[in-house]
């Protein structure tokens, strides 16, 4: 089959790789009909390169049709249309039964000290081949795959794989309630869906900050009050000015390690990503290497007693934190990979009842065949041509 593979920093190619096969009794094989490029895929371009090897299949946002099932996959059957959550979870361990599927004890990558295995996301998370491919092996298929209706375009459901539950959790973790105020920093795919999720939850005001015109326009079209970071030197000051000096009830950092605002840290990240792997891993595991501008701005923008929700990915182990200010402001800080199956039921119910929910079908700005995935990565990374979200179509999939 054809699949998008990592070959080195900022170098991905579509290659012919072996077809996946049933390896465990709880495996299923799906024929991928749609798959997408996620903002966190871009981290594999840079700082997380030391944990990849040439030929690794990338991608963790996929859906398709079940082609084959193992003997212990429950009532999943050939022909089912499914979305595949980006984290691999069993549904029956202590963590899963408490809504912490991203910490699944059955698939935890214990040799790396990490949580549940992830599709297409480095040796840190199990080196599970990803979904930017024609076919995908799905472990723990008795629980993970989300069965969706046969009707409707793929993009009505595709984002249940990651960005929609990630955004929904980000808003929940920020304690969004009816009448509350929220700041979203970073208006990539997750930030955009966080704006829409917060509005769906009843937030009275959603402030949204970015520096890309197309992103700002998209957020504004869904009810956000946008802040153009190209013209604002002091984001927290602006937020306080807009909230009678108090700050917002909650803030979501939807950027992570690649935030703008610290050119020195930017160069450190680039150097680490290109260093020999043992040296690079040591730097990641012992140094504070991330650009923390978005996180610090989130903490400074919330009111006293407010909540900061962190959905952006960070890679450094020893990043400095302003603990005195956090303690003084009595902040709550929540973070982590999305527990996809915790939220998938209510989100699927919303999507089934309201075809226009979250405006998902019009969300992708670019659609490309899988063979053009490398160009899609480059365009997405450079934010070229107004690119906000790229959906890839394996050529065997037709126009599902």
Rounded to whole angstroms, the Cα distance separating 68 from 78 reads 6
- The answer on pLDDT for 237 being more than 80 is yes
pLDDT at 161: 98
Per-residue model confidence (pLDDT) at position 265: 46
Please tell me which residue, 284 or 198, carries the higher pLDDT value: 198
3-class state of residue 6 by DSSP: strand
pLDDT band at 262 (very low <50, low <70, confident <90, very high): very low
pTM over cut 0.95? no
* Gap between the Cα atoms of 65 and 61, Å rounded: 14
Beta strand 390-393 pairing with 28-37: antiparallel
Write down the pLDDT at residue 399.
43
Distances (CA, A) of 227 to 185, 186, 187, 220: 9, 10, 11, 10
pLDDT tens digits along 321-336:
888 888 889 999 999 9
The percentage of the chain sitting over the pLDDT mark of 90, rounded to a whole number, equals: 79
Ramachandran angles phi, psi of 9, nearest 5°: -55, 125
* Sheet strands (E) in the chain: 2-8, 11-16, 28-37, 56-57, 62-69, 81-84, 135-138, 146-147, 181-185, 205-210, 225-228, 248-253, 302-310, 332-335, 366-369, 390-393
Structure tokens of 196? 């829409």
- Phi and psi at 72, nearest 5°, equal -125, 50
Q: Which two three-digit tokens encode residue 324?
A: 């005195």
How confident is the model over 64-68, as a mean pLDDT? 98
- Higher local confidence (pLDDT), 233 or 43: 233
pLDDT at 317: 61
Indicate if the pLDDT at residue 51 is higher than 90: no
More confident site: 276 or 172: 172
Task: Give the range among 212-221, 273-282, 295-304, 384-393 with minimum mean pLDDT.
Answer: 273-282
Higher pLDDT, 291 or 266: 291
In 186-324, DSSP assigns E strands to 205-210, 225-228, 248-253, 302-310
Separation of alpha carbons 329 and 326, rounded Å: 5
Average pLDDT, the chain: 91
Q: What mean pLDDT comes out for the span 99-116? A: 96
How far is it between the farthest Cα atoms of the chain? Answer: 61
State the average pLDDT over residues 113-131: 95
pLDDT for residue 327: 86
What is the per-residue pLDDT for 304? 97
**CA nearest 96: which of 115, 76, 73?**
115
How many Å apart are CA 399 and CA 34, to the nearest integer? Answer: 9
Mean pLDDT across 74-78:
98
The predicted pLDDT at position 89 comes to 98
Structure tokens at 67: 């082609």
Neighbour-count burial of 111, counting CB atoms closer than 10 A to its CB (0-12 exposed, 13-18 middle, 19+ buried)? exposed
Q: What is the pLDDT confidence band of residue 44, given thresholds at 50, 70 and 90?
A: confident
- For 330-382, what is each residue's pLDDT tens digit? 999 999 999 999 999 999 999 999 989 999 999 999 999 999 999 999 999 99
Burial bucket for residue 21 (CB in 10 Å: 0-12, 13-18, 19+): exposed
pLDDT at residue 196, rounded to an integer: 98
202-207: average pLDDT: 98
């Amino acid at each position: 089959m054809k699949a998008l593979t990592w070959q080195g920093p900022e170098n991905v190619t579509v290659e012919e790789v072996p077809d996946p096969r049933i390896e465990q009794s709880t495996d299923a094989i799906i024929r991928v009909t749609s798959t997408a490029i996620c903002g966190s895929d871009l981290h594999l371009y840079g700082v997380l390169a030391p944990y990849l090897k040439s030929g690794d299949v990338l991608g963790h946002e996929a859906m398709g049709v079940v082609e084959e099932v193992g003997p212990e996959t429950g009532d999943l059957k050939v022909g089912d249309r499914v979305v595949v959550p980006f984290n691999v979870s069993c549904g029956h361990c202590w963590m899963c039964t408490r809504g912490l599927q991203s910490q699944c004890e059955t698939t935890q990558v214990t040799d790396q000290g990490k949580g549940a295995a992830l599709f297409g996301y480095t040796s840190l998370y199990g080196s599970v081949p990803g979904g930017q491919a024609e076919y995908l092996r799905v472990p723990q298929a008795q629980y993970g795959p989300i069965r969706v209706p046969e009707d409707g375009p793929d993009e009505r459901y595709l984002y249940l794989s990651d960005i929609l539950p990630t955004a929904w959790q980000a808003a929940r973790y920020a304690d969004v309630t009816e009448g509350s105020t929220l700041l979203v920093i970073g208006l990539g795919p997750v930030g955009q869906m966080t704006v829409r999720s917060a509005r769906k939850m009843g937030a009275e005001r959603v402030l949204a900050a970015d520096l890309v015109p197309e992103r700002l326009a998209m957020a504004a079209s869904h009810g956000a009050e946008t802040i153009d970071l190209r013209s604002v030197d002091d984001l927290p000051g602006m937020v306080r000015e807009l909230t009678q000096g108090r700050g917002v009830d909650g803030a979501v950092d939807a950027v992570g390690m690649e935030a703008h605002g610290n050119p020195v840290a930017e160069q450190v990240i680039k150097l680490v990503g290109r260093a020999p792997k043992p040296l690079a891993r040591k730097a990641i595991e012992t140094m504070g290497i991330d650009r923390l501008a978005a996180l610090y701005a989130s903490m400074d923008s919330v009111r006293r007693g407010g909540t900061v929700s962190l959905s952006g990915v960070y890679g450094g182990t020893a990043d400095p934190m302003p603990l005195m200010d956090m303690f003084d402001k009595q902040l709550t800080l929540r973070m982590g990979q999305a527990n996809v199956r915790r939220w998938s039921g209510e989100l699927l119910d919303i999507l089934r009842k309201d075809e226009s929910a979250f405006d998902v079908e019009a969300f992708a700005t670019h659609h490309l065949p899988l063979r053009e995935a490398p160009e899609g990565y480059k365009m997405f990374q450079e934010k070229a041509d107004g690119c906000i979200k790229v959906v890839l179509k394996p050529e065997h999939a037709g126009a599902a």
